[in-house]
Amino acid sequence: MADRPSVCVVGLGYIGLPTAAMLASSGHSVVGVDINADVVDTINAGRVHIVEPDLEDLVGEMVRSGSLTASTEPVPADVFLICVPTPFTGGAGTPTPDISHVLAAARSIAPALVDGNLVIIESTCPVGTTELIRDELATAGVPAARVHLAYCPERVLPGRILHELVYNDRIIGGTDEASSEAAESFYRSFVKGSVLATTSRTAEMVKLVENSFRDVNIAFANEISLLSEHLAIDPWEVIRLANRHPRVDILQPGPGVGGHCIAVDPWFIVAKDPDTARLVRTAREVNDAKTGWVIAQVQAAAAEIGTGLLRPVRVACLGLAYKPDVDDLRESPALRVALALAAGGIDVLACEPHLAEHQLLKLYPVADAVSEADLVVALVRHTAFAGLSFGDKPVLDYCGLTKATRTASGSPA
């Protein structure tokens, strides 16, 4: 393979677009592919459709230099990186992973593949998916012997993606030794962290385990917050002091757990082996139930404040995103809280400084919302809310906004 192989990145969202721009900036010729024509047009105009620090500048620079272009169709390249979504299907019972986008992406690149190409799956996948992709490619006319195939999970933190793409350690799960070697050599060309090889199945499990570990830890923090409430103790202080033990590192409680990773990936483990994955399932249930508890607590407080009022109670909801300092609403517990309050007849004054508008909720500048509200509910610890003064307004704080200290491990990825 060339020293700086050409790359086709399939899926230009939170993972694929920063990856494509970073690869272009490290000397690779990159074509990004997305089925969404608006996304492709936006990128070809040198702009971006997602919020991530420094991304717009880098994409603009790479597009102008000609090293990054976007297309709706895969094109021939040395390396193909698949970064498409892997959601879950909800409904009754255990949520199940939907790998249809990954399989569709594999089929879509098959006509562009030539002998010796390297195909890498970065999407988070249930264990065994890379082998299914190998079969899908074979059915599409590309037998395993013709290409290298590896699963290399992405573990970046939104808000720090461009830095972490380069500095994080990477797990390389080749479907055979030659595939691992090809993928290792590709990642070593731009990664400054360690590049660690294993099998595709192990690499798939590693990614799911990482996010399940965080979900279990946050579930523990959320359970502590409920127990502390019953015992009239401040859970933030309990966790802060417990974390002074040299071998204890409890994450922070919140209104639940959201985002495209931690709230989703543990279900990929549960769906494979529901009888065994008892702790992982319980953590999901604890974190989801926390959101319901928050809704009930705010509704009760609002009902008390509203007694005697001749208008609906006004509740300022600070934050809608799933975590601080991002615009991402996927699986967001804060959004779930605000929508449930509005559906229950409360006049919700929603504040989300990272969004210009929302389809279902009218957004307010935070100062206006706080001054007009009967009750303030802090849901997301955005930096933009730091140091706000609430006067004598009642405040229900579910994210530690009003607490003096902020811990490094505090926010879910």
Ligand X SMILES: NC(=O)c1ccc[n+]([C@@H]2O[C@H](COP(=O)([O-])OP(=O)(O)OC[C@H]3O[C@@H](n4cnc5c(N)ncnc54)[C@H](O)[C@@H]3O)[C@@H](O)[C@H]2O)c1
Judge residue 13's burial from the number of C-beta atoms within 10 Å of its C-beta, 0-12 exposed, 13-18 middle, 19 or more buried: middle
Residue 154 in the binding site for ligand X (CB under 6 A): yes
Other beta carbons less than 10 A from residue 336's beta carbon: 22
Residue 7 in the binding site for ligand X (CB under 6 A): no
Shortest Å distance, C-beta 33 to ligand X: 5
Question: Closer to ligand X at the Cβ: 16 or 173?
Answer: 16
Residue 156 in the binding site for ligand X (CB under 6 A): yes
**Closest-CA residue to 334 (of 254, 250, 407):** 254
Question: Closer to ligand X at the Cβ: 106 or 373?
Answer: 106
Shortest Å distance, C-beta 186 to ligand X: 18
Binding-site residue total for ligand X (CB under 6 A)? 28
Selected binder of ligand X within 1, 4, 13, 226 (CB under 6 A): 13
Is 192 one of the annotated active-site residues of the chain?
Answer: no
Residue whose Cβ sits closest to ligand X: 13
Return the structure tokens found at 24. Answer: 């272009």
Selected binder of ligand X within 5, 9, 16, 255 (CB under 6 A): 16
DSSP-based helix, strand, coil % in the chain, nearest 5: 40, 15, 45
Selected binder of ligand X within 44, 56, 101, 396 (CB under 6 A): 101
Listing DSSP states for 133-177 in one string gives HHHHHHHTT--GGGSEEEE----PPTTSHHHHHHHS-EEEEESSH
Asked whether the beta carbons of 154 and 122 are under 8 A apart, the reply is yes
Choosing from 8, 83, 125, 261, which is the catalytic residue? 261
Asked whether the beta carbons of 320 and 361 are under 8 A apart, the reply is yes
- Rounded distance, CA 265 to CA 26, Å? 30
Over the window 56 to 95, marking each residue x when it contacts ligand X by CB under 6 A and - when it does not, the resulting string is: ---------------------------xxxx---------
Question: Closer to ligand X at the Cβ: 105 or 318?
Answer: 105
Is 290 one of the annotated active-site residues of the chain?
Answer: no
Selected binder of ligand X within 21, 30, 39, 147 (CB under 6 A): 39
Shortest Å distance, C-beta 386 to ligand X: 23
- Please identify, among the stretches 99-107, 183-191, 311-319, 353-361, the one whose residues bind ligand X according to the rule CB under 6 A: 99-107
**HSE-up of 57 (CA within 13 Å, CB side)?**
3
- Rounded distance, CA 330 to CA 158, Å? 13
- Angle at 331 (CA atoms; ends 325, 382), nearest 5 degrees: 15
CA 86, chain centre distance (Å): 11
Selected binder of ligand X within 14, 151, 186, 187 (CB under 6 A): 14
Judge residue 92's burial from the number of C-beta atoms within 10 Å of its C-beta, 0-12 exposed, 13-18 middle, 19 or more buried: exposed
Residue 42 in the binding site for ligand X (CB under 6 A): no
Residue 124 in the binding site for ligand X (CB under 6 A): yes
- Rounded distance, CA 46 to CA 355, Å? 21
* SS3 at position 70: strand
Residue 12 in the binding site for ligand X (CB under 6 A): yes
- Please identify, among the stretches 31-39, 138-146, 309-317, 388-396, the one whose residues bind ligand X according to the rule CB under 6 A: 31-39
- Please identify, among the stretches 34-42, 88-96, 241-249, 284-292, the one whose residues bind ligand X according to the rule CB under 6 A: 34-42
- Please identify, among the stretches 101-109, 239-247, 292-300, 388-396, the one whose residues bind ligand X according to the rule CB under 6 A: 101-109
Shortest Å distance, C-beta 268 to ligand X: 9
Residue 260 in the binding site for ligand X (CB under 6 A): yes
- Rounded distance, CA 404 to CA 129, Å? 45
Q: Which 8-state DSSP code applies to residue 384?
A: G
Residue 158 in the binding site for ligand X (CB under 6 A): yes
* SS3 at position 401: coil
- Rounded distance, CA 118 to CA 144, Å? 11
Choosing from 207, 290, 323, 403, which is the catalytic residue? 207
Question: Closer to ligand X at the Cβ: 9 or 298?
Answer: 9
Residue 104 in the binding site for ligand X (CB under 6 A): yes
- Rounded distance, CA 197 to CA 173, Å? 6
Residue 21 in the binding site for ligand X (CB under 6 A): no
Other beta carbons less than 10 A from residue 225's beta carbon: 23
Site residues (vs ligand X, CB under 6 A)? 10-16, 33-36, 39, 83-86, 101, 104-105, 108, 123-124, 154-156, 158, 260-261
The set of catalytic residues is 207, 261
